[in-house]
Amino acid sequence: MGSTSFRSRSDAPNVTKVVPISKAECVTSAGSAVSHVSFSSKREVRESSGKTRWERLYSEVYEDGKGEHPSLPGMVGEPAPASRVSVVPVANTYAKMSIVVPPGTEHGTEMATAASRLLQCLDIRKKYAGYSAEQHMEPSVTQHVSHNRSRQDLMTMMADIDGDSFIKNSCGHTLTWDPLMSKLPPADPSLTIHFEDGIFVARSNLKLVGGDRAVISVDEFCRDYVQVLQTMRDRSCISFCVPRLRELDLSFEFHMNRNAVLENEQASASGGRDWFSVRKVDTHIHHSAAFSQKHLMSFIRRKMRDEMDTLVLKDGDRVLTLREVFSCAGLTEETVTADRLCCMASMGACGQHDTFGRFDRFNNKYNPFGDKRLRDIFLKTDNFIEGRYMAELTKELMTKHEADTYVFAEWRISIYGRDRGEWARLARWFRKHEIKSRNIRWLIQVPRLYSLFRKMGVVRSFGHLLSNVFEPLFEDVQNPSSDMFYMLQQLVGFDSVDDESQDSHLTLKVYPPPDEWTSEANPPYSYWMFHMYANIRSLNAARRHRGMHTFTYRPHCGEAGNVSHLVSGFMLADSICHGVKLIQTPVLQYLFYLAQVGLAVSPLSNDILFVPLAESPFGNFFRAGLNVSLSTDDPLIIHMTEEPLVEEYVVAARTFRLSLGDLCEIARNSVRQSNFESSFKEFWIGNCNDAARSNVSNTRLQFRADCLAREFEVLREAKAEL
């Protein structure tokens, strides 16, 4: 494809790749007796087989070696098979805690069975999310151009993104970014599209594109879902996972007690970055609320001064001017204040203004000055003025992002499934207003609003809604259009959003196929999740067949509601938004850790809706080694400053007592979780890890990798007793 990895300059500082340090001692299992705890500083050695102990262990757990296993904490981009993991000894050893058990100690049948069930759950995830990771393709939007340049010093090597669309690396290469870099593919008349049991499939000359693996049946999903759900509830699995998670937390505490000084010295010696100058990606933010209150108020005041006579809204047979709309709302330029804007969520307010636990009140905060007409005028892309105001706001915010070299974002924008024309209108908005930025990538969020649309009569069935969402995408694979191509080159994934606290059933067995779901009731969470995933998987197979890039699935999951939602998230999602309910299910929390599933957590958003900041599990997740990043969710509604992502980091640092090194690790996680092109990722954090770029010491990542290796070793040894 169009992205090419940066090459390291021969005289550049040696960048070491993080690999687990092998242990001579046995690692304790859940519930086993501990003989003693010691610290060691051993270096990795290769066995007679030619593999390191880590490579052998990982190959045994994931025998097929096809790259479907969970990614390592030290790896960039998509997971790689164990055979391709580069192993380079770290430059420094570190004080390490080793737990030694008495000889002959056994885990017991119960723990062995639990370990086997946990490994089976990881295999189930491999079937779904692992397949997606293995087959992932990036858009052709980056290109390297070589320049004859003189030798550059370290600071030049670490040069920031320069100009509007390119970055330079140590060899003088320029990485250009342009959503129209690739040519529009021609039509493929041999490709046909079919809608079967709620899932679109593509066939080429009557053969299923992607083979049998392109489509997962609902019956197969139900069987796997029930197995993971039963594992989540199994008492022996809970007894296994609780002490493992506790030991991970304690290991981090021991590690920081003994190695904090070493980590700080390594970070200082790297000489490249500090926390302010490492790249951070806002991995979960909604486009319509990406603006600060100050920015939105300033924009509205400008329009009051300059465009009061502009026709902006159709009201029945009349077309209203901006002046008439503001007059009806009782607004003047002087009354446009934060209090009147009424977008800030109320925390701890009395009565009708309190948003805690009230998702409906939270959603009303999207209406400036409490007026839905103003939301339609200023914060919609599909309106009487064809989204011109929203485009202007968007491009102003993009300019701010580009001025800040170190903050990037992945914005969510909605496709509702009300009609088939939504995609064409959104694509036209992108192309007409030239919406693009090297700092921004986009995800499509599909709100789970079937019940509302069915009551309104705009859809006949749930299958009709799915058809409105996915059929235009399959048709574009068959016969691409220029507007859709321009937009889709910037689109990296899909999201599924809405209030999780609504009632939701656990299984799909008693439910009809989507075309027969004509009830006004909303389908349960797992039903939504599966049919979104299945259509994305099939769409990716069709796009891969045409040489087009593929999409990830990164839904909202585990924010509220039943913890069973996280079963669907674990099985199907590449990463999830929120995930705070994991604290209530140690088995799934441990599985998310083992698979290194990304969590884009928004503590300030959770604080005003479902989880008070003091009770946020973010600190627990981070210490245990889960793949967590910080995100803003809805800056317009939640944040007080012009730098909402920095605000999240600062509040998290104070609340969870995080060091600057911890913040840099979280920032590095955000790059790993994001779907920016791999060339960008490698430049931002290096190949595996470059402390001069990420400001994360190799010792920290070595520790994380060692912990993960230890847990897999515990599972393998316990399972071997069966």
- Measure Cα distances from 166 to 7, 405, 436, 630, 683 in Å: 16, 12, 14, 26, 12
Whether the pLDDT of residue 16 is over 70: the answer is no
Q: How many CA atoms, within 13 angstroms, populate the side-chain half-sphere of residue 272?
A: 29
Quick one: pLDDT at residue 507?
A: 57
Whether the pLDDT of residue 31 is over 60: the answer is no
Quick one: pLDDT at residue 648?
A: 96
Whether the pLDDT of residue 62 is over 50: the answer is no
Q: What is the 3-state secondary structure (H, E, C) of 661-696?
A: HHHHHHHHHHHHHCCCCHHHHHHHHCCCCCHHHHCC
Query: Mean pLDDT across the chain, nearest whole number?
Result: 81
* Residue 603: pLDDT band with limits 50, 70, 90: very high
- Measure Cα distances from 236 to 117, 228, 376, 713 in Å: 10, 14, 53, 19
Could you give the strand order of the β-sheet that contains 207-208, starting from the edge strand earlier in sequence?
Answer: 191-196, 199-204, 207-208
* Residue 498: pLDDT band with limits 50, 70, 90: confident
Name residues whose C-beta falls within 8 Å of residue 169's C-beta, 6 or more positions apart in sequence: 6, 7, 157, 175, 683
The share of the chain scoring above pLDDT 90, in percent, equals: 58
* Residue 685: pLDDT band with limits 50, 70, 90: very high
Whether the pLDDT of residue 225 is over 50: the answer is yes
**Lowest-confidence pick of 164-168, 382-386, 521-525, 716-720:** 164-168
Domain ranges in the chain are: 36-136+217-262+698-719, 142-177, 276-684
Whether the pLDDT of residue 34 is over 80: the answer is no
Whether the pLDDT of residue 189 is over 70: the answer is yes
Whether the pLDDT of residue 72 is over 90: the answer is no
Numbers of helices and strands, H then E, in the chain: 27, 19
Q: Which of 464, 531, 556, 578 is catalytic?
A: 578
Under CATH, which number does the domain 276-684 receive? 3.20.20.140
401-428 residue pLDDT tens: 999 889 999 999 999 999 999 999 999 9
Whether the pLDDT of residue 66 is over 70: the answer is no
User: Rounded to an integer, what distance in angstroms lies between the CA atom of residue 679 and that of residue 687?
Assistant: 10
144 in active site: no
Q: Cβ-count burial of 619 within 10 angstroms (0-12 exposed, 13-18 middle, 19+ buried)?
A: middle
Quick one: pLDDT at residue 80?
A: 34
Whether the pLDDT of residue 40 is over 60: the answer is no
Quick one: pLDDT at residue 437?
A: 95
Quick one: pLDDT at residue 341?
A: 62
Give CB contacts under 8 A, 24+ apart, made by 327-336: 329/369, 329/371, 329/373, 329/374, 331/369, 332/304, 333/301, 333/304, 333/305, 336/297, 336/300, 336/301, 336/304
530-568 residue pLDDT tens: 999 999 999 999 999 999 999 999 999 999 889 999 999
245-288 residue pLDDT tens: 999 999 999 999 999 999 999 888 887 688 889 999 999 999 99
309-362 residue pLDDT tens: 999 999 888 999 999 998 887 777 777 776 666 555 555 544 555 665 565 565
Quick one: pLDDT at residue 47?
A: 37
The share of the chain scoring above pLDDT 70, in percent, equals: 76
Whether the pLDDT of residue 220 is over 90: the answer is yes
129-182 residue pLDDT tens: 876 666 677 776 555 433 333 233 323 323 333 333 334 443 444 567 888 777
19: its two tokens = 């690999």
Whether the pLDDT of residue 469 is over 70: the answer is yes
